[in-house]
């Protein structure tokens, strides 16, 4: 990966170096708030090799007896998985042996009802992912899906088709898995949900659908080598510093931009990573995303001419997997003959460059992240880059980047409205 900060005014950036390096020391020295959730830092080289091999064997069994794996989880137990899944799959007619389908990531009776109907004539397995086993969305989905799979296959066969990724020692799901004999994998105690795709949380479903998890881990390890360096030239540190500089200049909203639709769910994962990490104590840089050129015809107007409180981080893919060359048309009714002989990726790149010029002229600073390709290794490096950056950025903001206390408040009010015992007076 390469980062380009040429479209940001860096006149004041050196005044942020000391604060950024102090935040980096806090992160890597594990001396700040949330330091008990930093297991992801060294996980690329320090992971349970025995569990890793069990994951690959379980994934092979799933591929042997199923067309579908239903991944049941929400937040960090969903977004990282789907980001890699979508980015590495083809748009149409996937040739994967196992298709990943997601459940428990929202509360829609219609969605779950249609999923249950869809699965009736399919061979499938379930991977329920929850540290506690009591998180509302996945718990509801698992209750219905467990009943359906037991009815389809019988309890004995269903036990072999249900995999639980949960706490190593305690919790409702762990208790159920032990009682029923489900194969279990561990949600690590020292890795928060939005960082957990590097653990069994992400590795089992990704391996089952055909992602090369050896390459995925190699990518994380390469990212670790790149972004653990203590230097203000470290792009992850520089990115964090620039974000904070722009925020203090009134640019409190960051737009992650892609020009390749495969990256849509990487942006969704990124939004959770930065929103849950930084949005505390009345602070935080608000993360949003756009998919261009599509969104240039909608929110592009707001970015170009709206309130000047934002900056953009653009992800550019240098080498598309495939491409098309535009041909000359004899009638030229659409007026496109000026593009004859040019590839669609070339046109897309000029759209990106033109948009950058226009937005920078409109006082929207632009950061550019260049990826050579979209594959397991490159995505893992990108993930690790953002994870180091959010840790540094969060400490620079003066918040604990590794908790999410605000998430609990909606649950409290929802449980009160639903009449959950113990929430009557909340």
The residues annotated with a catalytic role in the active site are 276, 411
Neighbours of 375 (CB within 10 A): 18
Widest distance between CA atoms in the chain: 75
Which is nearest to 369 in space by CA: 379, 357, 358? 379
Q: Find out whether the peptide bond into 293 is cis, omega within 30 degrees of 0.
A: yes
Cα angle vertex 241, ends 37, 250, to 5°? Answer: 110
DSSP single-letter state for residue 209: T
Which is nearest to 400 in space by CA: 42, 20, 21, 35? 35
Cα angle vertex 251, ends 247, 255, to 5°? Answer: 105
Identify the bridge partners of residue 311 per DSSP, sorted by sequence position: 254
Residues 6+ apart with CB under 8 A from 379: 83, 84, 87, 88, 216, 219, 266
Using CA atoms, how far residue 10 sits from 6, 25, 234, 335, 369, in Å, is 8, 23, 15, 41, 17
Using CA atoms, how far residue 250 sits from 245, 254, 307, 343, 406, in Å, is 9, 11, 11, 39, 24
């Amino acid at each position: 990966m390469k980062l380009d900060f040429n479209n940001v005014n860096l006149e004041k950036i050196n005044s942020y170096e000391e604060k950024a390096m102090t935040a980096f020391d806090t992160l890597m020295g594990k001396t700040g708030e949330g330091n008990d959730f930093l297991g992801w830092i060294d996980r690329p080289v320090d992971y349970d090799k025995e569990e890793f091999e069990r994951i690959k064997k379980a994934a092979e069994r799933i591929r042997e007896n199923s067309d579908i794996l239903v991944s049941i989880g929400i937040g960090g137990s969903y977004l990282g998985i789907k980001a890699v899944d979508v980015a590495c799959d083809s748009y149409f007619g996937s040739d994967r042996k196992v298709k990943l389908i997601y459940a428990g990531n929202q509360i829609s009776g219609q969605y779950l009802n249609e999923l249950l109907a869809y699965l009736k004539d399919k061979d499938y397995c379930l991977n329920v992912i929850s540290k506690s086993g009591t998180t509302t969305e996945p718990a509801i989905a698992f209750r219905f899906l467990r009943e359906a799979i037991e009815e389809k296959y019988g309890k004995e066969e269903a036990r072999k088709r249900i995999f639980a990724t949960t706490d190593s020692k305690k919790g409702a799901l762990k208790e159920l898995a032990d009682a029923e004999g489900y194969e279990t994998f561990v949600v690590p105690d020292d890795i928060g949900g939005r960082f957990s795709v590097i653990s069994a949380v992400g590795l089992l479903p990704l391996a089952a659908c055909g992602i090369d998890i050896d390459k995925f881990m190699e990518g994380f390890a390469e990212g670790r080598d790149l972004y653990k360096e203590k230097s203000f030239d470290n792009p992850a540190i520089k990115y964090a510093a620039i974000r904070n500089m722009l925020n203090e200049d009134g640019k409190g909203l960051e737009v992650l931009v892609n020009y390749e639709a495969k990256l849509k769910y990487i942006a969704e994962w990124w939004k959770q990573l930065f929103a849950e990490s930084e949005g505390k104590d009345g602070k935080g840089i608000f993360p949003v995303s756009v998919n261009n050129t599509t969104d240039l015809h909608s929110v592009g107007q707001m970015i170009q001419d709206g309130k000047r409180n934002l900056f953009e981080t653009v992800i550019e893919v240098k080498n598309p997997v495939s491409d098309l060359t535009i041909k000359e048309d004899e009638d030229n009714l659409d007026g496109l003959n000026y593009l004859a002989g040019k590839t669609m990726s070339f046109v897309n790149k000029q759209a990106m460059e033109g948009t950058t010029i226009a937005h920078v002229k409109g006082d929207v600073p632009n950061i550019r992240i260049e990826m050579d390709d979209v594959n397991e290794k490159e995505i893992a490096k990108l993930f690790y880059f953002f994870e180091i950056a959010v840790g540094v950025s969060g400490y620079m903001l003066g918040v604990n980047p590794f908790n999410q206390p605000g998430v609990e408040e909606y649950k409290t009010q929802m449980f009160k409205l639903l009449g959950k015992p113990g929430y009557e007076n909340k």
